Structure 1
Amino acid sequence: MTPADLTRTVVRAVRCAVEDGELPAHAAVPARVVVERTRPGGVGEYATPVAFQVAKAAGRPPGEVARVLAGRLVAEAGIARVEVTGAGFLNFVLEERSSVDAVRDALRLVGAFPAVCAAPSPAAGELRAVVVGRAVGRILASQGIPGGEPLANIAPVARRDGDVVARFGEDAAVWAMLCVPAHETPSFRDTLLVQDESSEFFRVRYAHACAVGLVRNARLLGFGPRLMPAPYGDCAGVLRVLADHPLVLDAAAHHRAPERLVRHLVELADALLDFQYRVLPKGDEKPSAAHRARLALAEAAGTVLAGGLALLGMNAPDCL
């Protein structure tokens, strides 16, 4: 079960609990629920406050609603354990998914919703509103959600920053405008122009270029990526972030928050940059099934980085 599947499963559990009389008939069944990574001190991998969402209309304490839902959800395929914590938070331990499934799911999501980069409006006063609005529109489209009402309360680029596109370049300016919530004024610093790993903007694009380079160099060594259940070694970090990609896009769409996707891309880039040194054979080592599998994982991460940048309205160069 993917995190995105979990959100739909929780909604279905609420609906069935109402239909079967375990919850009052007047209890509101949410159209969607928020499922997020468990915070430090929590239980399992994911958690949701849906019981609080349902409890008010149901006229029941959140803890009671949570226990009703936990009894249903623990029987669902893909869920190993459900625990109720605090006043009514549902915490999930999912059954282990194969690395192959995680990679396939991430690639399927990227491939299903190709995004087209659009240049920002030249009108300085409207520049940020256009950049944020287009990014949100692309993210919504990737989830099959209509655009709806335009966003309100978007802080503009400060006058003191001047022509940020001319100063930093289009992609770097867009990055700065999207890496903070829309209601916050973006910050434009000279670090946007830094071409080393101290810059998050550079790291994300560099990580994509590294993924492309790994595939290219592997071909020179006579092998290519192959998606298979081979031993991936110590690549849990990349797999975990890839598995979260559908959930991040869902949350970014729900909250109209492209900065969530920005943070996710930084996390994936950092995991990939740490992992890259384990992908290709070293010295006289011959390419093995593990090398092919790791290469497939690196290629998938690079593809997700490119797809994420495109959704935000930026390019993913093959080399830097």
Structure 2
Amino acid sequence: MTPVELSRTVLQAVRCAVDDGELSVPVPERVVVTEPGPGGCGDFATNVALQLARPAGQPPRRVAEILRPRLAGAEGIRDVVVTGPGFLNISLDPQADLVTGLVREIRARGAAYGHGDALAGQVVDLRVPYEVRAEVVADAVVRIVATQGGRATVEHGEPANLRPVPAPEDPAPLGHDASQWALLHPASHDRPRITADHLVQRESNPLFRVRYAHARIRSLSRNAARLGFAAEPGPLDGGRSADADPPAGTGPSADAGPLDAGTLNAGPVDPGLPLTGPLAPGPLDIRLVGPLDPGPLHITPPAGLLDARHAHTPRTAPLATTPVATTGGAPAPTRPGVTPHRATPTGALRDLLTPLADHPRILAAAATHRAPDRLARHLVTVADAVLPFLPCVLPCGEEKPSAAHRARLALAEAAGTVLAGGLSLLGIDAPEHL
């Protein structure tokens, strides 16, 4: 059950309560389900009872108790708990694979994922002043409103109903993508910064993180194709618990020494954005066999984006040639029979699923409130959530591609779809390479 399907299930429960005469309220057009807040439990929570309490003339908790049995009996829901003033906390049936359903929905809808009918049939008249930021914001609002079934028109005149704080200077020297981001990322009431910080390829630059994440995902897809497998939604760990210990003999211990060069660089690798940096905790001398590949500019990986535990994965090798790793001039000892095994990091998975599932709500809010900055900030959240997940996507060393790798790649590509679609709505290019 996906969040969209769960929202429809909650609406159906409200309709049943109204039809049975237990609630006397107009059925809302949509219901929002989110991650449970402090004091909550389960997989999702909704405040629909608080929303209906006043028109129903009943306390929110009483409304929640009316809806609870109807939700608990729905297919795919294991349990429903009422907490606080009337929040409904929903636990999904383990057989209802949330990850698989969400990934399949995103893959099926593609760039249209998150589009809805919140503004269906509505015409939004935008009146803006003759100013560069107002023009850029209005242009983005037109595209975002269209995703919700509405149509926006732009006119110049007074009184203006869309007047963001003007840019302090001409953003054109930043280039198209950076200038678009500089004008759209801040909220309309905030003054945009027109500085070269938007061009810096570092972790401190939100635009770089978003575009970097998309480029890395596209690189993973190319590498997977070269390894002979493609994305396919399914269980991310092949039926094994994400936080379980790897089977004996299938992975190195935390204090294991450096892997041999063959394991480090198994298979053809497309690095996407080449990275340089330490490959192991200790000093490692890299000797190159053959000439260097004069590829794109090497950029030091942003601090915190790479997990030291996975420092030996193929993504750290940006060269087309085969390096021979030595320590102190002697060849690194090989370790036959050791195949690294990496489980999907549970925390990274939850951090990624939440913004992906929340994308339709964010897009509807951005359209309703004429606020493209909400979409821009949401893309940063998605990028920051997907980057820690990427190291576990491809097989490591002698590990063979499995159903779990195909499922992880499908989830990563789903995040890439959300990033590409969001950047397109903001008028910004989603790069295949950086």
Aligned amino acid, residue 269 of structure 1: A
Cα–Cα, structure 1 residues 90 and 295, in superposed 2: closer, same or farther, change >3 Å?
closer
Match of 1:253 in 2: 364
CA displacement, residues 43-96 of structure 1 (integer Å, 9 cap, x when unaligned)? 223322222322222221222112212232222222222222222222222334
Aligned amino acid, residue 252 of structure 1: L
Please state how far the C-alpha of 1:264 moved relative to its aligned partner.
Answer: 3.0
Deviates more, 1:309-318 or 1:34-43: 34-43
Match of 1:212 in 2: 218
Cα–Cα, structure 1 residues 38 and 289, in superposed 2: closer, same or farther, change >3 Å?
closer
Conserved 8 A contact 1:204-1:265: yes
Conserved 8 A contact 1:4-1:250: no
Q: For 1:58 and 1:289, locate their aligned partners in 2 and report how far apart those are by CA, in whole Å.
A: 49
Match of 1:17 in 2: 17
Q: For 2:398 and 2:27, locate their aligned partners in 1 and report how far apart those are by CA, in whole Å.
A: 60
Aligned amino acid, residue 39 of structure 2: G
Conserved 8 A contact 1:51-1:66: yes
Larger % of helix: which?
1
Percent of aligned pairs sharing the same letter: 49
Match of 1:29 in 2: 27
Please state how far the C-alpha of 1:319 moved relative to its aligned partner.
Answer: 0.9
Q: For 1:207 and 1:287, locate their aligned partners in 2 and report how far apart those are by CA, in whole Å.
A: 22
Please state how far the C-alpha of 1:113 moved relative to its aligned partner.
Answer: 6.2
Give ranges in structure 2 of 5+ residues lacking alignment.
116-127, 155-159, 239-342
Which 4+ residue blocks in structure 1 deviate beyond 4 angstroms? 148-151
Q: For 2:50 and 2:111, locate their aligned partners in 1 and report how far apart those are by CA, in whole Å.
A: 36
Deviates more, 1:70-79 or 1:193-202: 70-79
Cα–Cα, structure 1 residues 283 and 15, in superposed 2: closer, same or farther, change >3 Å?
closer
Match of 1:274 in 2: 388
Report the number of matched residues: 307
Q: TM-score, normalised by structure 1?
A: 0.82
What secondary structure, in the 3-state scheme, does the structure 1 residue paired with 2:151 have?
coil
CA displacement, residues 238-292 of structure 1 (integer Å, 9 cap, x when unaligned)? 4653464353223431443433333332232223322222222333444333333
Conserved 8 A contact 1:47-1:90: yes
Q: For 1:292 and 1:267, locate their aligned partners in 2 and report how far apart those are by CA, in whole Å.
A: 24
Give ranges in structure 1 of 5+ residues lacking alignment.
116-122
Q: For 1:252 and 1:2, locate their aligned partners in 2 and report how far apart those are by CA, in whole Å.
A: 17
Aligned amino acid, residue 307 of structure 1: G
Please state how far the C-alpha of 1:193 moved relative to its aligned partner.
Answer: 1.4
2:255 is equivalent to residue 141 of structure 1: no
CA displacement, residues 140-189 of structure 1 (integer Å, 9 cap, x when unaligned)? 4334x32368894542323xx2111x132222222233333334433444
Match of 1:162 in 2: 169
Aligned amino acid, residue 17 of structure 1: A
The higher radius of gyration belongs to 2
Q: TM-score, normalised by structure 2?
A: 0.62
Conserved 8 A contact 2:114-2:360: no
Conserved 8 A contact 1:81-1:93: yes
Aligned amino acid, residue 162 of structure 1: E
Please state how far the C-alpha of 1:317 moved relative to its aligned partner.
Answer: 0.8
